[in-house]
């Protein structure tokens, strides 16, 4: 009986070893495949020398005055993901924007400017102390930042079709 139990344990250990080895090989192949895919897409750049930082436009950051949101804004829909109140709007040029309200809105905008100023890639973000939104609807959260058709402390981030995004 003792020899039979020992054979069973050896069989179990051998099976587990094979499974572990196959997982290791599979994950290594997956990582190599991901590296090849990334290398083939483009040359990813995280940082560039910004040159003279004094010449950087910290008011508009990585965007510009011509790319900034253009009023009037039209309410599209409320976005319920994440922890802060958000909704989508469309501006006068037809560009869609994600509007975030609350204390993070200002901090995110400032942080994106500082990171961009020292040479890191950053997304466009524009801050409005007040913005009028045509067709503004009551929000399920963040209603304290809304007065009629006007919102206070809003960060606008473009939702352009040519920009790839990760999960939010």
pLDDT reading at 42 higher than 70: no
Whole-number Å distance between alpha carbons of 168 and 160: 15
What is the per-residue pLDDT for 11?
Answer: 58
Can you list the positions of beta strands (E) in 15-102?
Answer: 73-79, 86-90, 96-101
Closest CA to 75 of 93, 53, 49, 97: 97
Between residues 139 and 32, the one the model is more confident about: 139
What is the per-residue pLDDT for 3?
Answer: 62
The tens digit of pLDDT for each residue in 53-98 reads 899 999 999 999 999 999 999 999 999 999 999 999 999 999 999 9
What is the per-residue pLDDT for 19?
Answer: 47
* DSSP code of residue 139: -
- When pLDDT is cut at 50, 70 and 90, the band that residue 45 belongs to is confident
Q: For 66-104, b where at least 16 C-beta lie within 10 A, e where not — what string?
A: eebbeeebebbeebeeeebbbbebbbeeebebbbbbbeb
Whole-number Å distance between alpha carbons of 54 and 31: 41
The widest CA-to-CA distance across the chain, in whole angstroms, is: 84
Residues near 149 by Cβ (< 8 Å), separated by ≥ 6? 132, 133, 134, 135, 136
What is the per-residue pLDDT for 149?
Answer: 97
Instruction: Give the pTM.
Output: 0.71
């Amino acid at each position: 009986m003792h020899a039979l139990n020992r054979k069973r344990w050896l069989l179990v250990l051998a099976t587990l070893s094979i499974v572990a080895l196959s997982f290791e090989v599979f994950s290594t192949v997956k990582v190599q495949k991901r590296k090849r895919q990334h290398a083939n897409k483009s040359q990813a750049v995280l940082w560039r020398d910004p040159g003279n930082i004094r010449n950087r436009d910290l008011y508009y950051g990585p965007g510009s005055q011509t790319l900034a949101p253009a009023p009037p804004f039209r309410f599209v829909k409320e976005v319920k993901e994440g922890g802060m109140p958000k909704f989508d709007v469309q501006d006068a040029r037809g560009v869609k924007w994600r509007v975030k309200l609350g204390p993070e809105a200002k901090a995110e905008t400032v942080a994106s400017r500082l990171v961009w100023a020292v040479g890191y890639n950053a997304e466009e973000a524009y801050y409005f102390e007040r913005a009028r939104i045509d067709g503004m609807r009551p929000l399920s959260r963040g209603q304290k930042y809304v007065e009629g058709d006007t919102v206070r402390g809003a960060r606008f981030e473009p939702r352009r079709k040519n920009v790839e995004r990760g999960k939010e």
